[in-house]
Amino acid sequence: MPDLRPIELLDAEQLTPRLSELRLRSAALGRETKVRVLAPSAATSADAAGLPVLFLLHGGGSDSDHSNWTECGSVEALTDGLPLLVVMPDGGNGGWYSDWLRPNSAEGTQRWEQYHIGELLPFVVSHFGSRTDRAGTAVAGLSMGGFGAVHYATRHPDLFGFTAAFSGAVDIRHPGIGRVVRVSPEIMGGRRGDIFGDHVADEAVWRAANPVDLAANLATVEVELRTGNGERGGLHGDEPEGDTQELGVSQATANLHRRLDDLGIAHVYDDYGPGAHTWPYWKAALAASLERIVGVARERRAIPAWVEHLAYEPRFSVWGHDVVLDREELAPIVLTIGPDGCALRGDLACRGRITTPAGEVLEVEVSNVHVRSFPHLGV
């Protein structure tokens, strides 16, 4: 991820004693954007200092934006009295919390991961003085935002100690969800396929972003998956003919659940049965996850002594290590970090350079060993 200019704070409006709305200018997006922030008391730097942070992501659709969780999701009431800073950014009506393969649309540049991870997260820390450790940084979301939450945690497990998806579209290679992803750019002034390209020709692009494919990276993250199945008879109301959206995300969530089970990664899987793709269920899901979000923050876990990270890009940074490969193709690459040093292995033989947190530069040969031969990281 390239270095970006710091976010420019243009304006701040106090909406309630706890809730503020910030107007920012993002270099990654090339335009203004908004974010809402909830603090335990008044949303000021002094009150937020030292607090853990929950990045709470909205879903997709023409009426989806940074205000949804406060206007529809009762997040202010649900977090009342909790020692938690809640940050609710805009993610675009159909941005899919990703840097698009073809990022320029009529609405502007679509580099949502660069904005959220490279710009907004550091801004929140510097502006509010909030926690910087993994245990003190959580990310959760609903539907498209559920994908975004787990997507960010799989790609940046060094930044997030907790992730939760509520009715999450957490498998973008699920046929129904893949179709939605493909057409989503059209509601943001783009063209079909702008986000991840073609399902076949650009398969590696889809895999590089898909939580199911990157699930092994969640081994050090607390994960909660909550979903209904779209059938009638739920506790919080129904759609008249059942809910096909909830059915689709429940299948995607089940796919991720099975993958985590196969990998031996402990997680919460709450398939609560009948239920719709509606706000009453997402409010209940957030309420169910908040206790663990705060609990993980209290634990202040140490950085693991040994870790493996699966990526596809020829350049990436994780766990303080910067990796640069002498290839441009997207293909599975595994970075192993342990007490005895670090190493790379991948599907394509090449040379690589690893810069360690101490600034040491290591020139390495990437062995041509198929990642699929390692069951715990198989793709």
Enter the tokens of residue 344. Answer: 């790379």
Its pTM stands at: 0.94
- pLDDT tier for residue 41 given thresholds of 50, 70 and 90: confident
Q: Give the ranges where the chain is alpha helix by DSSP (H).
A: 45-48, 68-71, 75-78, 112-113, 121-128, 144-155, 175-183, 203-209, 244-263, 279-299
pLDDT > 70: percent of the chain: 93
- Determine which helix (DSSP H) or strand (DSSP E) holds 361, and give its type and residue range: strand 361-368
Min mean pLDDT across 33-42, 148-157, 217-226, 304-313 is at 33-42
Window from 99-103, 163-167, 242-246 with minimum mean pLDDT: 242-246
Are 309 and 321 spatial neighbours (Cβ–Cβ below 8 Å)? no
Rounded to the nearest integer, the mean pLDDT of the chain is: 93
pLDDT tens-digit readout, 68-123 = 999 999 999 999 999 999 999 999 999 999 999 999 999 899 999 999 999 999 99
Strands 222-227 and 268-271, by their bridges, are parallel
**Domains (range + CATH), the chain:** 8-299 (3.40.50.1820), 307-377 (no CATH)
- Give the pLDDT confidence score for residue 327 in this predicted structure: 93
CB atoms within 10 A of CB 233: 9
Per the CB < 8 A criterion, the answer to whether 88 and 69 are in contact is yes
pLDDT of residue 303: 83
SS3 content of the chain, % helix, strand, coil (to 5): 30, 30, 40
Summarised one tens digit per residue, pLDDT across range 175-231 is 999 999 999 999 999 999 999 999 999 999 999 999 999 999 999 999 999 999 999
Using the predicted structure, report yes or no on whether residue 160 has a pLDDT greater than 90: yes
Q: pLDDT at residue 3 above 60?
A: no
